[in-house]
């Protein structure tokens, strides 16, 4: 990258960090209990002895903000990789049914272990740690079915991919609903809130359960991001360069499913972040995935932090699930991209 473009890249990265910080500021100072920035800073550095302030920041708001950032990063990275693998700008973990597969597996876990994900105080740490693993199994099954049915004459058919994804999404969604209806009243309410995409019961155990997935798989995808540039070429050209095309695609796909599973296990099914963030990144830094991947991650984090802040404050004292806020933004954006692609 030329020196001028590199400086522009760092300026855009800095702006995205600034947006995330603004979202953090708005989130941590506003809510049912408003606080000044001085009170927040004093509480964070330990100069404020008010136990109420400490409870609000460290047990309620800070975990929620951190989870919004991590989930935004994970879903954005997964969407970026899926769009690169499929050469389809409309690919998204939610639209393709991977979210639904992971979600159905987590609802299955909630049903058989009678675990209320949105009501736990973090004491059931073993159940929380197991949820991403169940999500990984469900997401992998969904992804395997989708990609097997989408191949035609040895190649991935984009039209089949979208149609199969929609069908798988509906099928796993129906399975989740069936399992939810079999639950008792309290468990059903918990599962319904979770499926809408809710992070307002965030706690530090949820963060610990997903952080290794985000760090390890996110770093791996960034290291392998150069492959996504090659995947935009014809398959025979990629193979002629000595790249094991199908093997690399499968590994990248599994890494993406792992990210989605970790995110779904703590936040429920949140769609469209994986669709919007990569598009925003390409508008900002071009098509080279070495730069698109980190910018997508930061864009996803900013989108989800601000969406959660809107959901928290728009109908206060009631709250709107962040998944619903993102869908309100994402559906018109998806339709715009669909019309544009024609």
* Res 307: pLDDT: 93
- Tell me the average pLDDT across 303-315: 90
CB 90 within 8 A of CB 334: yes
* Averaged pLDDT score across all residues of the chain: 85
- Tell me the average pLDDT across 286-306: 94
Indicate if the pLDDT at residue 24 is higher than 80. Answer: yes
What are the backbone dihedrals phi and psi of residue 151, each rounded to the nearest 5 degrees, phi first?
Answer: -80, 135
Alpha-carbon distance of 22 to 294, in angstroms, equals 19
* Res 2: pLDDT: 66
pLDDT tens-place string over residues 36-83: 888 888 888 887 777 888 888 888 889 999 999 999 999 999 999 999
Class of the domain covering 3-341: mainly alpha
Name the band, by pLDDT with cuts 50, 70 and 90, for residue 188: confident
Q: Rounded to two decimals, what is the model's pTM?
A: 0.90
* Res 158: pLDDT: 67
Indicate if the pLDDT at residue 87 is higher than 70. Answer: yes
- Tell me the average pLDDT across 262-290: 90
- What's the Cα-to-Cα distance from 152 to each of 104, 116, 243, 250, rounded to whole Å? 28, 42, 21, 17
State CA 318 to chain mean position distance: 24
Burial category of 18 from C-beta neighbours within 10 Å (exposed 0-12, middle 13-18, buried 19 and up): exposed
Name the band, by pLDDT with cuts 50, 70 and 90, for residue 130: confident
**Higher model confidence: residue 227 or residue 189?**
227
Indicate if the pLDDT at residue 302 is higher than 90. Answer: yes
Orientation angle between helical segments 62-86 and 289-313, nearest 10 degrees: 140
Indicate if the pLDDT at residue 157 is higher than 80. Answer: no
DSSP for 57-68, please give it. Answer: IIIIIHHHHHHH
Q: How many CA atoms lie within 13 A of 238 on its CB side?
A: 18
Residue ranges in 271-319 assigned as alpha helix (H): 273-285, 289-313
Please name every residue paired with 152 in a beta bridge, in sequence order, or none if there are none: 155
What tokens appear for 315 in the block?
């109908």
Name the band, by pLDDT with cuts 50, 70 and 90, for residue 120: low
Indicate if the pLDDT at residue 100 is higher than 70. Answer: yes
Indicate if the pLDDT at residue 95 is higher than 70. Answer: yes
Most confident of 88-92, 106-110, 213-217, 266-270: 213-217
Lowest mean pLDDT among 108-122, 158-172, 220-234, 258-272: 108-122
Alpha-carbon distance of 113 to 161, in angstroms, equals 34
- Tell me the average pLDDT across 292-310: 95
Name the band, by pLDDT with cuts 50, 70 and 90, for residue 280: very high
CB 22 within 8 A of CB 30: no
Alpha-carbon distance of 91 to 80, in angstroms, equals 9
Indicate if the pLDDT at residue 156 is higher than 80. Answer: no
């Amino acid at each position: 990258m030329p020196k001028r473009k590199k400086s522009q890249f760092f300026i855009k990265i800095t702006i995205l960090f600034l947006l995330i910080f603004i979202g953090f500021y708005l989130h941590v100072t506003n809510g049912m209990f408003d606080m000044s920035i001085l009170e927040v800073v004093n509480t964070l550095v330990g100069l404020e002895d008010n136990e109420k302030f400490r409870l609000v920041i460290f047990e309620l708001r800070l975990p929620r903000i951190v989870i919004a950032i991590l989930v935004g990063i994970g879903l954005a990275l997964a969407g970026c990789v899926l769009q690169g693998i499929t050469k389809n700008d409309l690919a998204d973990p939610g639209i393709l049914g991977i979210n639904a597969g992971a979600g159905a597996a987590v609802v299955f876990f909630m049903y058989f272990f009678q675990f209320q994900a949105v009501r736990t105080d973090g004491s059931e740490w073993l159940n929380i740690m197991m949820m991403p693993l169940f999500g990984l199994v469900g997401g992998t099954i969904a992804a395997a079915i989708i990609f097997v049915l989408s191949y035609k004459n040895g190649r991935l058919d984009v039209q089949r991919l979208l149609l199969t994804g929609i069908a798988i999404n509906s099928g796993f969604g129906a399975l989740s609903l069936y399992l939810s209806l079999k639950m008792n009243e309290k468990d059903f309410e918990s599962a319904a809130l979770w499926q809408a995409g809710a992070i307002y019961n965030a706690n530090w155990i949820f963060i610990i359960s997903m952080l290794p997935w985000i760090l390890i798989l996110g770093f791996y995808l960034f290291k392998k991001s150069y492959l996504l540039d090659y995947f935009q070429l014809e398959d025979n050209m990629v193979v002629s360069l000595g790249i094991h095309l199908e093997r690399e695609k499968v590994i990248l796909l599994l890494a993406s499913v792992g990210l989605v599973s970790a995110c779904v296990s703590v936040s429920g099914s949140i769609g469209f972040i994986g669709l919007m963030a990569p598009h925003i990144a390409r508008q900002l830094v071009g098509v080279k995935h070495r730069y698109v991947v980190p910018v997508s991650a930061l864009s996803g984090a900013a989108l989800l932090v601000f969406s959660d802040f809107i959901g928290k404050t728009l109908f206060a004292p009631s709250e709107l699930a962040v998944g619903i806020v993102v869908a309100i933004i994402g559906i018109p954006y998806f339709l715009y991209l669909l019309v544009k692609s024609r």
